[in-house]
């Protein structure tokens, strides 16, 4: 009996889609990627998480930032819906992240440092240190900043702003890297949206990326 190859460490961002479009995309890419990221779809309710779980794991990119109790309540709800990864903003502070981690259950709590649509500052390293101090499971950062956080042990490193070299469209991402660059710099997961989801053939685009990084 042969072992089934593990899905690639790619999270497909389903931003700007309807539920129907997101589920269709997830079904098409099932088994080839780790899972799928939802952000704006969460405003319609957490039911989308369980529906997507039929096709892979789910990254609930809620980017929570509020007083500790409010953030904890939201994290508990997302965890109950069986999200695999949940994001909070590291800038919310150590106590907020600790409160969120206490109620995260089986979900992994990931702290966002500086958005890849913004220019980086010296704060990325400090925010990552705060995240580690709070006991969260990982951080979101750009590929360029992986060198600042890789010395922090036992943190999952999720990297958005991934743009294959053949993707030439300009968008709002300021700090980008190719899939290969990000993996070589130490990324654990690559978050890729538009190069796949806006392609005439999302499956073909994904396979092109997998070939590029030899996965």
In the set 19, 53, 63, 129, the catalytic residue is 63
Q: Let me know: does 65 contact 47? Beta carbons within 8 Å.
A: no
Active site residue 63: yes
CB 110 within 8 A of CB 86: yes
| Residues sharing a CB contact under 8 Å with residue 41, sequence separation 6 or more, in sequence order | 14, 17, 19, 22, 48
Q: Residue 9's beta-bridge partner residues? A: none
The set of catalytic residues is 63
């Amino acid at each position: 009996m042969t072992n089934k190859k593990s899905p690639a460490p790619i999270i497909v961002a389903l931003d700007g889609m309807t539920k129907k479009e997101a589920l269709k995309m997830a079904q098409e890419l099932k088994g080839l990627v780790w899972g799928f990221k939802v952000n704006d779809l969460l405003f319609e309710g957490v039911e989308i998480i369980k529906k997507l779980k039929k096709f892979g794991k789910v990254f609930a990119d809620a980017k929570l930032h509020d007083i500790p109790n409010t953030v904890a309540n939201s994290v508990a709800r997302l965890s109950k819906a069986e999200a695999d990864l949940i994001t909070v903003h590291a800038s919310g502070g150590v106590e907020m992240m600790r409160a969120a981690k206490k109620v995260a259950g089986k979900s992994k709590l990931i702290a966002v440092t500086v958005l890849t649509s913004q220019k980086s500052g010296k704060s990325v390293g400090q925010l990552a240190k705060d995240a580690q101090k709070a006991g969260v499971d990982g951080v979101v950062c750009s590929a360029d900043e992986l060198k600042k956080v890789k010395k922090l042990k036992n943190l999952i490193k999720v990297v958005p702003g991934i743009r294959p070299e053949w993707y030439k469209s300009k968008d709002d991402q300021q700090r980008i890297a190719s899939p290969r660059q990000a993996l070589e710099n130490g990324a654990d997961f690559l978050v890729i949206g538009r190069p796949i989801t806006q392609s005439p053939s999302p499956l073909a685009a994904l396979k092109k990326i997998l070939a590029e990084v030899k996965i």
